[in-house]
Amino acid sequence: MSVKELPGKGLARGLKVTFENLTRRAVTAQYPDVKPELPPRSRGVIALLEENCTVCMLCARECPCWCIYIDSHKETVPPSTPGGRERSHNVLDRFAIDFSLCMYCGICVEVCPFDALFWSPEFEYAATDIRDLTHEKDRLREWMWTVPPPPADDERAEPPKELAAAERAAARTSARSTRPDGVDRSEDVESPRGS
């Protein structure tokens, strides 16, 4: 046997919710005066550390919306030793990101092998003209100083494998250079095996 609801019960429930919200104090974010506390991994804009960029173009090639523009040229460096050969390296001329096209996926930050791109929590870069949303390397460099430091390692985590391998190599080197008689023989030249 089904029980019918009284007519107007839903209206009474809705008015009760409305009355509860009317008596509760409103919480308003005072945005321009008080900056919001953003989560530690929030994605604002992409910052560029120009010294680390080798113009490998991985970020521009992997970008799904093609919003990264890179221009460069090659320079020849004279040999560092007499009789050596000249070397050439790429010099970054232009690095720009069009944030009107960017979809903030983070692929460019992830694929950069030289840690030249970082997420900055800055989000105040609105413009009245869409053409002003293409930011050049100077502006991207300014945002680099707002990048938060990486989080500290977990105390309960295992040490990195590279650190453990380096400690083992250092222990082997020190064991080889110091003999049981306590005399440091690191300057002695080891003779080839079998002689």
Contact assessment for residue 118 and residue 147, using Cβ atoms and an 8 Å cutoff:
yes
- pLDDT band per the 50, 70, 90 thresholds, residue 1: low
122 vs 139: CA distance, rounded Å: 12
Closest CA to 56 of 45, 72, 40: 72
What is the topology classification, in CATH, of domain 32-178? Alpha-Beta Plaits (3.30.70)
According to the model, what pLDDT value does residue 180 have?
Answer: 58
43 vs 122: CA distance, rounded Å: 8
- Rounded to two decimals, what is the model's pTM? 0.65
Q: What are the extents of the domains in the chain?
A: 32-178
Handedness of CA 100, 106, 109, 113 (dihedral sign): negative
Closest CA to 68 of 80, 79, 56: 56
- Quick: pLDDT tens for 63-114: 999 999 999 999 998 888 888 899 898 999 999 999 999 999 999 999 999 9
